[in-house]
Amino acid sequence: MTPTVAAAAPAGDLRAGFPAPPSSGLDLFGPLTLNYYALCIVVGIIAAILLSSRLWKSRGGSVDNVMDATLWAVLLGIVGGRLYHVFSSPDAYFGPNFDGTGDLTLIPQVWLGGLGIWGAIVLGAVGIWIACRRYGIKFAGFADAIVPGVLLGQAIGRWGNWFNQELYGAPTSLPWGLEVDAEHRVPQVQHLSESTLFHPTFLYESLWSLAGVVVLVLLHKKFRFKQGLVAWTYVAYYTLGRFWIESLRIDELGKSTQWISLFGQEWRLNMWAALFTFLVALVMLVVLFLRRPRTAEALAEELQVYRVGHGTRTVGRAQDIDPDVDQDADQDADQDVDHDAAESTVADQSPDDETSHGPDAGTTEEDAAAQEAGTADPTAGSAGEDPSEAADERR
């Protein structure tokens, strides 16, 4: 691919370009160096944890779950991201076309850059799944709560590419064009003047991701009627943006695995990955929507973020998620409850109660029977009369 050279911005005019970073790291003492790429990743992880904790708590989950899952996701995510980068860009590690001329000692040097987002997401998701299985969490519901934070972390982490002067696009005359030092330019544009500016694709992806965070947070409140919808929306949104951003990139043009020809179309590897993943996400969104709960009971179960026997299962009504789903069923249930309560109240106030609630509450059935017997026997003496006198009168 030979990029078209656009008009270059005037040299030294910072208003005409996004400046190159002053350095890629900070020397501390001795051999220790604070690498800005690694710092951006750490800051992104912290931001992701904070936002994910807030959203997960709003669903009734424990903040401790986010911390536990983060350990699994970060460790496996870094491994996955590095493996994807190493095997999709093997020239530096194995040589062009894996001819053995590379340097294998570069593989563990993550701080130099090189984490493929596709591998990081896949193995990171595996780590999340492991944590959910261990702690009795519903994977889809947990994924819905953390993907806005993941996208926020990606937006911050992309600034590490600026410090490393990587992920830039074709030459441009746009006022926000990126300055790239000569030693970081690919051979195809080495001949261009120092004032040449390039598309800051890292910045495009960062801004695209930040906008996506806002969208996902709003959908997190709306898409509660089916777990997994927010997570797959994240996948569709991110891959859609990644496709057009990848089409602008010119870095790594000379690497042996960068261009893949399919269906008569030659695109970058990451463009094909974005396209296929986007299509899978669309299919999953349709499937989940078609399988959304149709009854109040099934919909209420979507409120539960823990499996039965684990965590704290919240109590909620279907209207808490979607007020339009099976309202008649809930209204009938409410009417039945009100009717039963009314019957109970009437029964409590009935005059046929065995126990009176009036001033004669102490009178028993035996007392009443004795009074009736005394009235029925005309020969019975009155209270205080001598029994012998009563007997004489009868004779």
pLDDT of the residue at 335: 52
Domain shared by 216 and 157, yes or no: yes
Length of the chain: 395
The answer to whether 25 touches 36, Cβ cutoff 8 Å, is yes
**Taking 90 as the threshold, does the pLDDT of residue 228 lie above it?**
yes
pLDDT of residue 27: 78
Residue 311: pLDDT over 50 = yes
Q: Name the least confident of 109-123, 131-145, 173-187.
A: 109-123
For residue 347, is it within any domain?
no
Q: Is residue 3 part of a domain?
A: no
- Assess whether pLDDT exceeds 80 at residue 183: yes
pLDDT above 90 for 44: yes
Same domain, 159 and 248: yes
Residues 199 and 118 in one domain: yes
pLDDT higher than threshold 60 for residue 218? yes
Q: 83-92, 196-205, 307-316, 365-374: which has the minimum mean pLDDT?
A: 365-374
Helix (H, G, I), strand (E, B) or coil at 262: strand
pLDDT at 309: 75
Asked whether residue 382 carries a pLDDT value surpassing 70, the answer given is: no
Asked if residue 328 and residue 234 are part of one domain, the reply reads: no
Q: Are residues 259 and 308 in the same domain?
A: no
pLDDT of residue 13: 44
Kindly give, in sequence order, each residue whose CB lies less than 8 Å from that of residue 35, ignoring residues fewer than 6 positions away.
24, 25, 111
| Matching residue, tokens 């890292």 | 202
Range of the domain at 208: 15-292
Residue 86 in any domain: the answer is: yes
The answer, yes or no, to whether residue 128 has pLDDT greater than 80, is: yes
Q: Taking 60 as the threshold, does the pLDDT of residue 361 lie above it?
A: no
Listing DSSP states for 97-122 in one string gives GG-S-S-GGGTT-GGGS---HHHHHH
Pair 309, 164 in one domain: no
Q: Rounded mean pLDDT of 370-374?
A: 52
Residue 6 domain-assigned (yes or no): no
Proportion of the chain above pLDDT 70, given as a percent: 73
> In one letter, which amino acid is 322?
D
Within a domain: 383: no
* Residues 68 and 213 both lie in one domain: yes
Do residues 304 and 168 share a domain? no
Residues 230 and 311 in one domain: no
Q: What is Dmax (Cα atoms) for the chain?
A: 148
SS3 of residue 6 by DSSP: coil
- State phi, psi for 262 to the nearest 5 degrees: -140, 140
**Last residue of a domain, which of 305, 335, 365?**
335
**Kind plus residue range of the DSSP H or E element containing 267:** strand 265-268
- Which DSSP state fits 276? H
Q: Are residues 20 and 132 in the same domain?
A: yes
Number of domains in the chain: 2
Q: In the structure, what pLDDT confidence band is assigned to residue 34 with cuts at 50, 70 and 90?
A: confident
Report yes or no: 171 and 198 within 8 Å, Cβ to Cβ: yes
* Residue 340 lies inside a defined structural domain of this protein: no
pTM to 2 decimal places: 0.72
Identify which has the larger pLDDT, 201 or 26: 201
Supply the pLDDT for residue 10.
43
349 located within any domain: no
What integer is the mean pLDDT of 20-28? 84
Domain boundary among 335, 361, 386: 335
Statement to judge: residues 281 and 312 lie in one domain: no
The predicted structure's pLDDT at residue 2:
39
pLDDT at residue 369 in the model: 52
Specify the pLDDT at position 257: 63
Residues 6+ apart with CB under 8 A from 300: 316, 317, 318, 320, 321
Q: What is the pLDDT of residue 338?
A: 53
Is 45 inside a domain boundary? yes
- Do 249 and 324 fall into the same domain? no
